[in-house]
Amino acid sequence: PRAIILDCDPGQDDAVAILMALASPEALETLAITTVGGNVPLEKVTRNALQLAALAGRPDLPVHAGCGKPLLQPLVTAEEVHGESGLNGVELPPPASTPRTSHAVDAIIELVMARPAGTVTLCPTGPLTNIALAFAREPALAARIREIVLMGGARDLGNVTPAAEFNFYVDPEAARLVFESGVPITMFGLDVTHQVLVTEERVARIRGLGNRAGEAVAGFLDFYSRHDRERYGFAGGPLHDPCVIAHLLRPALFSGRSCHVAIDTESRLGRGRSLVDWWSVTGAVPNAMVMDQADATGFFELLYKLLGRLP
Ligand code: BDR
Ligand code: CA
């Protein structure tokens, strides 16, 4: 199996990504969950991560709390999307375990440096603060990572400002450091994640799985979908973060283009924007595979199958 680290801010869509990864042990060896302040503050996302690991039957999985604040600016959260707990729509049993004592940044460095070079894939689905700090702290780290497959950014419109997507908006400097790190990146931005919508029929299908995980996911996706239905007129909530895991399991579900991506940290109106050089007008060497097409039907078939494997 491919070794991965889930660096996240759960969040209902991060939650689905975690459950998909933990339901696929034959393909993905999840080394740890590392958390970062994002959708809601750090304590809450860390608690949610512990509860989700237990829901997936993996209370033993190491969970490391990371940065509660972006590198240079105050944290911006998204309770209007995810609710006060970050996982509104479900009441999970209190965590059966506690976070590990080491900081997420140290854990990422230790886990990657302990394994052969080029074997660990990082899967960030929140602000990139932990990843950027890990690169700053261990200069040898970047060269040892196989790939970063992340959710963030957009080729076209943002969702927090007209320019910026939430994860890059929350910590633009971190996003910039990651895109300048030289590590191969696969980017799932809003252009592709907005094609993967959890409609009412799809929630019903998940509820119909009849297991505890299906019941919980249906509950929190009902809550999560309400925001994007009302705000953007979408048919349901976009499953942004799970695209990262689905891509690792079934690469044929998505397609995109290799191009150069720069992160705007300087302009007043554009902070956090990902400038995707889709037409190669700058001549800059590509630093990311930018996804823009998803097979949503195939994605949901995979999701039902994986959730059905859980307790
Ligand atoms: C991203 O922001 C968060 O609200 C979601 O969990 C996702 O990672 C989408 O912009
Ligand atoms: Ca997220």
Q: Which residues of 67-98 are buried (b: 16+ CB within 10 A; e: fewer)?
A: bbbbbeeebebbeebbbebbbbbbebeebeee
Q: pLDDT grade, residue 304 (50/70/90)?
A: very high
Question: Could you tell which of 156, 192, 240 is best to mutate to test the pocket of ligand 1, judged by most ligand atoms within 8 Å of the CB?
Answer: 240
The 10s digit of each residue's pLDDT in 15-60 is: 999 999 999 999 999 999 999 999 999 999 999 999 999 999 999 9
CB 17 within 8 A of CB 8: yes
Compute the average pLDDT of residues 98-120: 98
The 10s digit of each residue's pLDDT in 42-53 is: 999 999 999 999
Q: pTM (2 decimals)?
A: 0.97
Q: Cβ(11) to ligand 1 under 6 A?
A: yes
Token pair in block for residue 50: 């512990």
Identify residue 162 by its one-letter amino acid code. Answer: P
Question: Could you tell which of 76, 167, 188 is best to mutate to test the pocket of ligand 1, judged by most ligand atoms within 8 Å of the CB?
Answer: 167
Three-state DSSP at 237 gives: strand
Catalytic site positions: 240
Compute the average pLDDT of residues 76-91: 96
- Taking the C-alpha atoms of residue 42 and residue 99, their distance in angstroms, rounded to an integer, is 12
**Whether residue 96 has pLDDT greater than 90:** no
Q: Cβ(14) to ligand 1 under 6 A?
A: yes
Q: Please state, rounded to an integer, the average pLDDT across all residues of the chain.
A: 97
Ligand closest to Cα of 76 equals 1
Ligand 2 centroid – CA 9 distance (Å)? 5
The 10s digit of each residue's pLDDT in 205-247 is: 999 999 999 999 999 999 999 998 888 889 899 999 999 999 9
Going by C-alpha positions, the residue among 159, 115, 122 that lies closest to residue 28 is 122
Three-state DSSP at 279 gives: coil
Compute the average pLDDT of residues 186-211: 97
- Taking the C-alpha atoms of residue 165 and residue 269, their distance in angstroms, rounded to an integer, is 13
Going by C-alpha positions, the residue among 241, 233, 248, 243 that lies closest to residue 295 is 243
The continuous run of DSSP H or E covering 60 comes out as none
